[in-house]
Structures are given as structure tokens and as C-alpha cells.
Amino acid sequence: MRTSIEIGRALGIPIRLHITFLLILPPFILIFMQQPPPFGFAEIDSFAVRATLATLTTVVLFGCVIAHELSHSYVAMGYGVKIDSITLFIFGGIASMRTIPKDPRVEARIAIAGPLMSIFLATIFIAVQIPFNTIPGGIWWKGFGILSFSLGAINLVLALFNLLPAFPMDGGRILRAYLVKKEGSYISATRKAVQVGKIFAILMAAFGLLHGGWMLILIAFFIYIAASEEESATIIQSAMEGIKVRDIMTKELVTVSPYLTVREFIEFMLRDRHKGYPVVDPGSGELLGVVSLTDVKSVPSEKHDEITVGDIMSRELITINPDATAAEALRLIADHNIGRVLVIEDGVLDGILSKTDLIRAIEILRG
């Protein structure tokens, strides 16, 4: 089941709405409708105008969240980091980066970009609201003054909140960058930043319980869980950098002939129980390509006896050296959106490394 939908692209990055985002829209609109000025439209008599302005404020607010995440992404892309998507969900937005740079200066620059964008937007909105709130006007004029002031104030709060050293928020990442630069250990810095983040989460939840702030409790829960996941991912990533491809690859190679029909190949897969194979010429021993279950799915069943493996195999060979790290292999597989890579040493096919091999290694590392 798909949990998010793509609504557009910016800087070539897919912008997605998570299903939980739809849950937060009505409450935000209702809050803006019921709040008195300068943060809401409760004093506007017309229900239609009040509802329209509240909806517009909510939409622009989440546009500001996208701008916040795009600023992270823009700086990250400048350092060669690939961004898979930006997703809006119940607690805000998140830019999905393939890797987090371990250079503390780079991570700090990426992290600070978001709050700086929010401060910039806050400045713009607060400047824009001045004429609306100083020059007399009609109902819409007054409404746009409230809208501008509200968005300015919220963006300022968003910037300051994100700068709290509660990992994995922006301030927490800046804290980790500082600790890495000071101590030199990425894992140690992550653990300390995570502990600070968890303390902030506990304090935030306690404050929410005392004052009835259910949203604050949910955010605290999210920060606590996200910090724990980030710590685990960092430890695994570092461990994988110490594992060679040759240690986890499949060495007992099973290859297939390009002359097999698709039907014969399907029968072979059913017996062997793998989803992808190197294709090797039986005469010369030359590596020709890779064929997988995905390639088979594109062939109509009535043509299974006519079309051969050689017709559907991928000739683009994604390879890796056996002395490369498991972390490098994982990035290679993710970058090319493939299920396996061929392991080549001195021009000779030495093995194959699949997502399954990597997942098994990760499970072992997690214990």
C-alpha cells in the first residue's frame, strides 16, 4: 500500500504528501479560524472569508515547510548528496538524503540552511504585514494582514524550534557536527547528540502532559524514536564500512545462458529460487549481462517460448570490486535502483552481491 503521493517536483526532487499529512490539515484550518488576531481570523464575521483565509494560511504554511526542506536539499546537492524526495507528514517535512556527509562542516552547513530559510521567510512575512496592519482597509485587507503576521511568527518559531539541540532536528545535527570536530569520533558524537535529543524529548513530553499539549507529546515521541533509529543506523553504517564485499557476497555463482527461452528461465528460477543471474555465453565464457525476475515480467506469457534471456537481459553491467566496502555496495545498489551488483576482480566475475546479502549482514550487525 502506498503511503504517500507525489504532488510535484522542485529542483528535480519529488515532493510527496504522506497520508498522515491529510490528518493535520483540518485541525490547522480550524485553529486559524478560531484563534483571535493577530494569529487567527476569529473576529472576521463572514464564515466563508474566515474559512478561505484559514485554508490559504495553512497551505502557504506547508509551502514554507517545503521551502525549509528544499534549502537543506539545495545545499546538500551542492556537496554531491543525492536527494530521493521531500515528504510532508503529520510533524512537518523531511528531505530523504542518500547519505549524510561525515565532514562536520558540511553537515553543519546543510543543517543550518533550513532554519536560515525559515528566518528569511519570517522576515519577508513580517515586513509584508506592516502596510496591511497600519493602513485601514476592508475585510480581505485586514485578513491578509493577519495571514502575513501569523506566517511570519510561525516561521520564526519554526526556525528557533529546529535549532534546539534535539537530535535529529537541525540543531541536533549542528551539535553532532560540533562534537565530531571536537572529538573526531562520528559514532561517539552521534551517541552524545542522541542522548541530548532524548533528554529534550522527555522534557518536551513532560511539559505537554502538564499543560495538555497532545501535539507536543506526539512530537516528543517522534524525536525520541527518530533519535534512536538514527543512532542504530549510524552504528550499522560505520560497521558496514569495515566489511568487505568479498566477505558477504555469494561466491557459488550460478549463471544462465542467453539462449534459454523465457519459459525455460522461469522454470530454472523456480528450481534455484533466486531472482537474478549473470548471463554468460556458454562457448566463450564472456559475461554478457544480467537477467532478473523484473525482466521476465515485461514479457507476455504467450511469447515465453519465443523470446530468450538474451533478448530481455540488461546489458548495462553495474559492478563492484570485492575489496570495496559493504557501505559502498549499498550506495551503489540504491543509486541505480537495482537488486544486485556483479563482483569483478581483474576483469573476472568473482561473485554477486544482492540486496538480500546486505540485509542479512545488517540483521547480523543489529544482533
Instruction: Kindly write down the DSSP assignment for every residue of 14-31, as one continuous string.
Output: EEEEETTHHHHHHHHHHH
Query: How crowded is residue 49: how many other Cβ atoms within 10 Å of its Cβ?
Result: 15
With a cut of 90, say whether residue 122 has pLDDT above it. yes
> Of all helices (H) and strands (E), which one includes residue 7?
strand 4-10
Count of residues for the chain? 367
With a cut of 90, say whether residue 152 has pLDDT above it. yes
Q: What share of the chain in percent tops pLDDT 70?
A: 98
Residue with cell 522534557: 203
With a cut of 80, say whether residue 366 has pLDDT above it. no
With a cut of 80, say whether residue 66 has pLDDT above it. yes
Q: In angstroms, rounded to a whole number, what is the distance separating the alpha carbons of residues 316 and 288?
A: 9
- Catalogue the active-site residues: 69
The pLDDT mean for the chain works out to 85
Query: How crowded is residue 152: how many other Cβ atoms within 10 Å of its Cβ?
Result: 20
pLDDT of residue 52: 92
With a cut of 90, say whether residue 334 has pLDDT above it. no
Per domain, the residue ranges of the chain are 1-163, 170-240, 245-366
Structure confidence at residue 367 as a pLDDT band (50, 70, 90): low
Cell of 265: 528461465
The closest alpha carbon to 155, from 64, 53, 231, belongs to 64
Q: What angle do CA 12, 153, 53 make, to 5 degrees?
A: 75
With a cut of 60, say whether residue 240 has pLDDT above it. yes
In this prediction, residues 103-131 reach a mean pLDDT of: 92
pLDDT of residue 119: 96
φ/ψ bin of 341: left (φ > 0), alpha (ψ from -120 to 50), beta (otherwise): beta
Q: Please state whether beta strands 83-89 and 92-97 pair in parallel, antiparallel, or not at all (unpaired).
A: antiparallel
For 265, phi and psi rounded to 5 degrees?
Answer: -65, -40
* 68 marked ligand binding residue: yes
pLDDT tens column, 276-307: 788 888 877 788 888 888 888 888 888 888 88
With a cut of 60, say whether residue 1 has pLDDT above it. no
Cell of 16: 510527496
pLDDT of residue 91: 67
Cell of 143: 485578513
Structure confidence at residue 117 as a pLDDT band (50, 70, 90): very high
Cα-based distances in Å from 21 to 3, 212, 239, 320: 10, 22, 35, 40
Q: In angstroms, rounded to a whole number, what is the distance separating the alpha carbons of residues 209 and 5?
A: 34
Q: In angstroms, rounded to a whole number, what is the distance separating the alpha carbons of residues 151 and 54?
A: 11
Structure confidence at residue 169 as a pLDDT band (50, 70, 90): confident
Enter the CATH code of domain 245-366: 3.10.580.10
pTM, entire model: 0.72
* 18 marked ligand binding residue: no
Q: Which residue has the higher pLDDT, 214 or 244?
A: 244
Q: In angstroms, rounded to a whole number, what is the distance separating the alpha carbons of residues 25 and 17?
A: 11
Residue with cell 540485509: 359
Query: How crowded is residue 127: how many other Cβ atoms within 10 Å of its Cβ?
Result: 11
pLDDT of residue 2: 64
Cell of 9: 517536483
Bridge partner list, 98: none
* 346 marked ligand binding residue: no
Q: What share of the chain in percent tops pLDDT 90?
A: 18
Q: In angstroms, rounded to a whole number, what is the distance separating the alpha carbons of residues 304 and 301?
A: 5
